[in-house]
Amino acid sequence: MQFNDFKLDARLQRAIQTAGYATPTPIQAQTIPAGLASRDIIGTAQTGTGKTAAFVLPILHHLLTKPAQSRSTRALVITPTRELAEQILTTIRQLAQFTNIRAATVYGGVGMQPQERALRSGVEIIVACPGRLLDHIERGNARLDGVEFLVLDEADRMLDMGFLPAVTRILSFLPRTRQTMLFSATFAPELSQLAVRNMRQPERIDVGLGVPAKTVAHALYPVPQQLKTPLLLKLLGQTDANSVLIFTRTKHRANRLAEQIERAGYTTTALHSNKSQNQRQAALDGFRSREFQILVATDIAARGLDIATISHVVNYDIPDTADTYIHRIGRTGRAERDGDAVTLVTSEDAATIRDIERALGAKIERRTIAGFDYTPPALPANETARPAGTRQGRGPGAPDRGGQGRFRQQDPNSRPHGGPPARRGPAPQRSSR
């Protein structure tokens, strides 16, 4: 299957070429024909699979070839996070670059007025987060009665974030006759109900649900909670750490860890929901441009972040669920590049690890770092007895790049926790989710 086979408008074909897309990805091969045939679609696709272009291209083609019924907005994409909204806007602008089609984003944390102007001017495509869009609708800024195409992106995430009532209310302002495409990694009963009520005989498209890219190598590093930071610094010192995304459980831990890593000599920034929109954008832009080697983030960054060059994802704190693990590590190994997914685990994480291994359909290799002192720090009274600096791997030290891009196992024979060797991608089988 080639892009030519879709018979897309020539201006879109030119944009596809300019973007450097050679052949359609599997989700594109299935979604684009169904989208062009005006079918409703329920799609499950792993992030980083080209899902955005899969829904954007048929919409752009319809906008170019079907005459507008009114001068109001014709396509609406609803998505859970601002970052995702901006990424979708970037893809739309790239693919619509040889057309006059305009698009704008609508989300909270920034001024209402530019969004109000965009909405009132009737830009053809709006990419919105639910809460702010509802604000605009209730203030009479947004006219959605001309919407012909609706996309609900990362619907499971919107459900998790409590956006379902807002989404349902937004849907009540849209014409019933429209094309709807819904993308979700999982289908909780609430989402199935939403689909049944709002879609017409949707075509189901499922490409390898939740199986991470085969180019990602997974590894677990068992470590006492108190030694996570020294172990992480040791790991960073052994690798070519120029694009590492690290996840923590809380905003506070993200800030604190970012400071500790910065002190160890790496350019580092943090991304979480307490940051202003400008700070969040600056963190992402700086990480993308390699101004920052390391980005420490909470799960807000786990979904949809599209940075092609991330070489390592580190779970400093284990994710709550196997789903979140898969979404987090979906940030690396994109576009067939190699990536490492490293998880620091404590004895309390055993049950979650079992869930993750079941979801991956494979056991993950347990690794230890030779020469790292795994003894938990003694009580303060004893601590003073230890001469400063004797604990290997503690304290910053100059990062030793070691000339290797991957986190390497220091002692290949040392696998006290058992487990098979790291594999390049687990077998593509799934447990129920």
Among 30, 31, 44, 52, binds ligand AMP (CB under 6 A): 52
Q: Which stretch binds ligand AMP (CB under 6 A): 4-12, 51-59, 105-113, 184-192?
A: 51-59
Alpha helices in 178-217 (DSSP H): 189-198
Q: Check: CB of residue 95 under 8 Å from CB of residue 15.
A: yes
Give CA–CA dist 405/339, Å, rounded: 9
- Alpha-carbon gap, residue 289 to 293, rounded angstroms: 9
Which of 11, 39, 51, 136 lies at the binding interface for ligand AMP (CB under 6 A)? 51
Using the minimum distance from each CB to ligand AMP, give the nearer residue, 53 or 104.
53
Give how far the C-alpha of residue 315 lies from the chain's centroid of Cα atoms, to the nearest Å. Answer: 14
Q: Does 243 bind ligand AMP (CB under 6 A)?
A: no
Binding range to ligand AMP, per CB under 6 A, among 46-54, 212-220, 351-359, 395-403: 46-54
Which residue, 18 or 121, has its beta carbon nearer to ligand AMP? Answer: 18
Contact set for ligand AMP, span 334-373 (CB under 6 A) = 335
Q: Whole-number minimum distance, CB 47 to ligand AMP, in Å?
A: 6
Site for ligand AMP in 160-219 (CB under 6 A): none
> Whole-number minimum distance, CB 144 to ligand AMP, in Å?
24
Q: Which is nearer to ligand AMP, 57 or 220 (CB)?
A: 57
Piece of 44-52, 130-138, 363-371, 402-410 that binds ligand AMP (CB under 6 A): 44-52
Alpha helices in 274-335 (DSSP H): 277-288, 322-329
Q: Are 148 and 64 in contact (CB under 8 A)?
A: no
Per-state percent for the chain, helix, strand, coil, to nearest 5? 40, 15, 45
The minimum distance between CB 381 and ligand AMP, in angstroms, equals 53
Please list every residue from 284 through 303 that binds ligand AMP, using CB under 6 A: none
CB of 24 to ligand AMP, least distance (A): 5
**Interface pick for ligand AMP out of 35, 43, 50, 393 (rule CB under 6 A):** 50
CB of 385 to ligand AMP, least distance (A): 53
- By C-beta, is 149 or 372 nearer to ligand AMP? 149
- Find, among 132, 120, 127, 39, the residue nearest to 90 by Cα: 127
Our finding on whether 81 is near ligand AMP (CB under 6 A) is no
Separation between Cα atoms, residue 343 and residue 223, nearest integer Å: 10
Question: Which tokens in the block code for residue 156?
Answer: 């499971």
Phi/psi of residue 7, nearest 5 degrees = 55, 45
For residues 399 and 266, the answer to whether their CB atoms sit within 8 Å is: yes
The answer to whether 48 contacts ligand AMP (rule: CB under 6 A) is yes
Q: How many residues bind ligand AMP (CB under 6 A)?
A: 15
Binding mask 8-27 for ligand AMP (x = CB under 6 A): -------------xx-xx--
Interface residue with ligand AMP among 86, 160, 306, 340 (CB under 6 A) is 306
Cβ contact 86:153 at 8 Å: no
Residue 22 beta carbon to ligand AMP: minimum distance, rounded to whole angstroms: 6
Query: Residue 94: CB partners within 8 Å, gap ≥ 6?
Result: 15, 18, 19
Minimal distance in Å, beta carbon 336 to ligand AMP?
Answer: 9
What part of residues 316-335 is at the interface with ligand AMP (CB under 6 A)?
335
User: What's the min distance (Å) between Cβ of 15 and ligand AMP?
Assistant: 11
Name residue, tokens 């892009």: 3
Q: Which H or E run contains 106?
A: strand 103-106
Instruction: List the structure tokens of 300.
Output: 């807000």
**Could you tell me the end-to-end alpha-carbon distance of the chain, in angstroms, rounded to an integer?**
31
| Token couple for 98 | 């040889």
Nearer to ligand AMP, 24 or 230 (CB): 24
Q: Which is nearer to ligand AMP, 43 or 50 (CB)?
A: 50
What are the angstrom distances between the C-alpha of 59 and each of 148, 171, 340, 391?
Answer: 9, 18, 35, 59
Q: What DSSP string runs through 358-425?
A: HHHTSPPEE---TT---SPPPPHHHHTTSPTT-STT-S------TT-SSPPPS-TT--TT--PPP-BS
Rounded to a whole number of angstroms, the minimum distance from the CB of residue 3 to ligand AMP is: 8
* Binding-site ranges for ligand AMP (CB under 6 A): 21-22, 24-25, 28, 47-53, 306, 308, 335
